[in-house]
C-alpha cells in the first residue's frame, strides 16, 4: 500500500481550513490542520510534509514569521510553502513572500482548480523523492554487503538477482520522473516546481551511475552520493 503524503494547512480561521480541505480532498492525501504559526511549527517537529499552505495574515506569529522559522530548521527548510493571502499590498508584499522562502504566492479568492493543480505537482515530487530515498537505502545495503539488503528486497540469493531487482525499481522511478518533467514543461509550471524536478533527476542519475558501477567487470563500486 502506497503511503499518502501529508499536506499542512495553516490558517487561523476554521472556515478557511474547511474550504481548503474541500478543494484538496480530491487529491486523496492526508490533510493536517494548524490554526496558528506556533501550531504549524509543532506539527513540523514530528511529521514530514509534501507542501505547506500558509495564510499570511494571522494574529500573533504571521505567515512571514512562520515561514522564516520553517526555513531556519534543517529538517523543514526544503518543504515547499505556498502563501495564501486575502490582502494584496502590491509587488512589495509579494516580494516579501518570496523572500521568506515561498514557492508561490496566491491571493484570495483563488481558483480551486489552479490551487489543486499546484499542490498536486509538489505532492508528486515528494512521492518521487520518497521512492528515490527507498532505492538509495536498498543500494546502500547492497554496497555494504550486509544480509539486510537481501531481506529488504526479497529472497534473491545471488548478487546478480539483487542488482536486477534494484535496477528494475530504479527504472520505474526514472520513468515516472521523466513523465513528470515532461508534464511540467507542457503545463508551463512554476519555476520552483521545474527546478525541484530537475534536482530529482540529478539525484536519480547519480544513483543510476552508482548502481551501474556494481555490474560485474566495472571494478570497485564508488561511494553513493548523499540523497538528502
Q: What is the pLDDT of residues 29-77, one digit of tens each?
A: 999 999 999 999 999 999 999 999 999 889 989 888 999 999 999 989 8
Q: In terms of pLDDT, which residue wins out, 70 or 187?
A: 70
- Across the range 18-29, mean pLDDT stands at 95
The total number of structural domains in the chain stands at 2
Last residue of a domain, one of 77, 110, 143: 110
Q: In terms of pLDDT, which residue wins out, 95 or 31?
A: 31
Measured in degrees and rounded to the nearest 5, phi and psi for residue 84 equal -120, 130
- The pLDDT of residue 128 is 84
CA atoms of 74 and 219, how far apart (whole Å): 36
| Residue 125 lies inside a defined structural domain of this protein | yes
β partners of residue 154: none
Q: Are residues 106 and 10 in the same domain?
A: yes
Local confidence band at 19 (pLDDT 50, 70, 90 cut-offs): very high
Q: Are residues 99 and 148 in the same domain?
A: no
Local confidence band at 91 (pLDDT 50, 70, 90 cut-offs): low
Q: Are residues 10 and 94 in the same domain?
A: yes
CA atoms of 29 and 185, how far apart (whole Å): 24
Last residue of a domain, one of 90, 110, 130: 110
Q: Is this prediction's pTM over 0.85?
A: no
Local confidence band at 211 (pLDDT 50, 70, 90 cut-offs): low
- The pLDDT of residue 108 is 80
Q: Are residues 193 and 168 in the same domain?
A: yes
Q: What is the CATH number of the domain that holds 79?
A: 3.40.50.2300
| Residue 224 lies inside a defined structural domain of this protein | no
pLDDT value at 226 more than 50: no
* Per-residue model confidence as pLDDT tens digits over 105-157: 888 888 899 899 989 988 988 888 888 777 777 777 766 665 444 444 444 44
Q: Are residues 125 and 181 in the same domain?
A: yes
Q: Is residue 51 within 8 Å of 126, Cβ to Cβ?
A: yes
For residue 34, the surrounding DSSP H or E stretch is strand 30-34
Q: Are residues 129 and 62 in the same domain?
A: no
- The pLDDT of residue 9 is 97
154 DSSP 8-state letter: -
Q: Are residues 11 and 39 in the same domain?
A: yes
- The pLDDT of residue 223 is 40
Domain range holding 173? Answer: 117-212
* Alpha helices in the chain, H assignment, sequence order: 14-24, 37-46, 63-72, 91-99, 112-144, 147-153, 159-186, 191-212
Amino acid at each position: 500500500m502506497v503511503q499518502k503524503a501529508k499536506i499542512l494547512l495553516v490558517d487561523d480561521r476554521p472556515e478557511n481550513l474547511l474550504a481548503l480541505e474541500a478543494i484538496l480532498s480530491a487529491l486523496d492525501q492526508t490533510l493536517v490542520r494548524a490554526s496558528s504559526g506556533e501550531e504549524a511549527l509543532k506539527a513540523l517537529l514530528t511529521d514530514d510534509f509534501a507542501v505547506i499552505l500558509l495564510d499570511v495574515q494571522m494574529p500573533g506569529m504571521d505567515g512571514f514569521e512562520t515561514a522564516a522559522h520553517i526555513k531556519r530548521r534543517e529538517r523543514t527548510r526544503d518543504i515547499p510553502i505556498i502563501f495564501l493571502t486575502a490582502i494584496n499590498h502590491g509587488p512589495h508584499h509579494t516580494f516579501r513572500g518570496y523572500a521568506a522562502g515561498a514557492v508561490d504566492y496566491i491571493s484570495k479568492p483563488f481558483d480551486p482548480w489552479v490551487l489543486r493543480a499546484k499542490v498536486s505537482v509538489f505532492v508528486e515530487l515528494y512521492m518521487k523523492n520518497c521512492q528515490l530515498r527507498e532505492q538509495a537505502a536498498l543500494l546502500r545495503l547492497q554496497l555494504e554487503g550486509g544480509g539486510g539488503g537481501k531481506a529488504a528486497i526479497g529472497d534473491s540469493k545471488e548478487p546478480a538477482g539483487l542488482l536486477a531487482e534494484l535496477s528494475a525499481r530504479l527504472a520505474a522511478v526514472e520513468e515516472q520522473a521523466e513523465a513528470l518533467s515532461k508534464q511540467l514543461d507542457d503545463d508551463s509550471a512554476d519555476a520552483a516546481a521545474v527546478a525541484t524536478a530537475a534536482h530529482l533527476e540529478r539525484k536519480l542519475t547519480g544513483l543510476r551511475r552508482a548502481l551501474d558501477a556494481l555490474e560485474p567487470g566495472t571494478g570497485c563500486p564508488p561511494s553513493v552520493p548523499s540523497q538528502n
